[in-house]
Structure 1
């Protein structure tokens, strides 16, 4: 892992696979931190697939299962709302 690693920029996945006795819950937490640290426009399925290709040979590692679960449910991220999607009072046309 290097600082410019597009797959694992913070080294979270490499660290997770290096921790002996890590639990599935800890892996899910690390996965969430990893996913949130990625750029918004990234192809999440491609990165999860690349991470599995890199580390997925550890068949009984809980992170491998978390990544497989993530690959099965990952979709293109999209904006679902929030304050930016609400109309401003000065722009409501009234």
Structure 2
């Protein structure tokens, strides 16, 4: 699924444009990268998503969807385990 189609879902229409642009950048930079590289890419945006500008559940779900789109099956399984440890189900 491409990013533009993903963001057309109703739950993503309320995301602030600045955050949506950052998530799109993360998506583009993540293509073809390993899970470790993707995590580093996302970490580089942590100031945007800091305490005064926390991400919503919808934004988190979009970021997870973007990450999953760029992973192979084994990486998806491992990532799902990591999320489960954090109390997040996909």
Scaled to the shorter chain, the TM-score interval is: 0.3 to 0.5
Greater helix proportion: 2
Using CA pairs below 8 Å that are at least 6 residues apart, which structure has the higher relative contact order? 2
After TM superposition, the score normalised by the length of structure 1 is 0.42
